[in-house]
Amino acid sequence: MNLDFATEGAVDAIVARKLAQEAGFEAGTPYVCGGKNALDRRMRNYNQAARYAPWLVLRDQNSARCPGALAQQLVDNPADFLCLRVVPREIESWLMGDHQKLAKFLSIKESLIPRAPEEEHHPKQKMVAIARRSTRKSVRDEMVPRPGSGIGIGPNYGGLLIEFAEMHWRADHAARRCPALATTRRRLCELYARVAAV
């Protein structure tokens, strides 16, 4: 049973695929939109497709005040097979949930990682701040922005997070610190049961 999924970026897509497989689905076609605006524009199409087959859409909350209100704004009448989930602020919050693996990957102390990552207002900035404390120069060079660069992340920030999400991140461990992730895992299991019953 395939589950197609749409996300803002490549890291989100890896998380979506892992969550789909964990729930029992075969990972279907990934649609990486390249940002929230592009994803939002296509949301109606994804909802239409979810009338006939299961779909997962992960959308960052960013500065929106309420995830539930944002989800309703994006889709006021969700299809039966749509699982639209709003990630608190940014996907980094869910990655920080697996604090043990992240600490090892970045060569930092576990105590540097927030115990409630979904409550962080700027998870990406927090991830950079954590990486800045790494004992490995390569991590600092790749994830921390260079002085005068004018950007908030290092030159291979995304590449390292992709590697971490793909090779090390564990959704079940992260869900212990991330209530929205735990709910997403349950919703996907419920979706699998609904589709299987058809």
Grouped pLDDT means (10 residues each) for the chain, 198 residues: 96 97 95 95 96 96 78 90 95 98 98 97 96 97 92 96 98 98 98 94
pLDDT of residue 121: 92
- Which residues, 6+ apart, have CB-to-CB distance to 23 below 8 Å? 3, 185, 188, 189, 191, 192
- Whether residues 182 and 84 fall in one domain: yes
Query: 25: helix, coil or strand?
Result: coil
3: closest CA among 122, 76, 85, 123? 85
Contact 96, 102 (CB under 8 A): yes
pLDDT of residue 64: 66
Q: What is the domain range of residue 156?
A: 93-174
Contact 102, 161 (CB under 8 A): no
Task: Please give the tally of structural domains in the chain.
Answer: 2
pLDDT of residue 94: 98
- Whether residues 167 and 145 fall in one domain: yes
pLDDT of residue 6: 98
- Whether residues 184 and 153 fall in one domain: no
Query: For the chain, what is the largest distance between any 2 Cα atoms, rounded to a whole number of angstroms?
Result: 57
Q: What is the CATH number of the domain that holds 61?
A: 3.40.50
Query: 84: helix, coil or strand?
Result: strand
- Whether residues 20 and 40 fall in one domain: yes
Q: Cα torsion for 80, 73, 21, 5, to the nearest 10°?
A: 90
pLDDT of residue 198: 85
- Whether residues 55 and 74 fall in one domain: yes
- Whether residues 16 and 62 fall in one domain: yes
Phi, psi of 117 (to 5 degrees): -60, -25
- Whether residues 83 and 126 fall in one domain: no
- Whether residues 120 and 64 fall in one domain: no
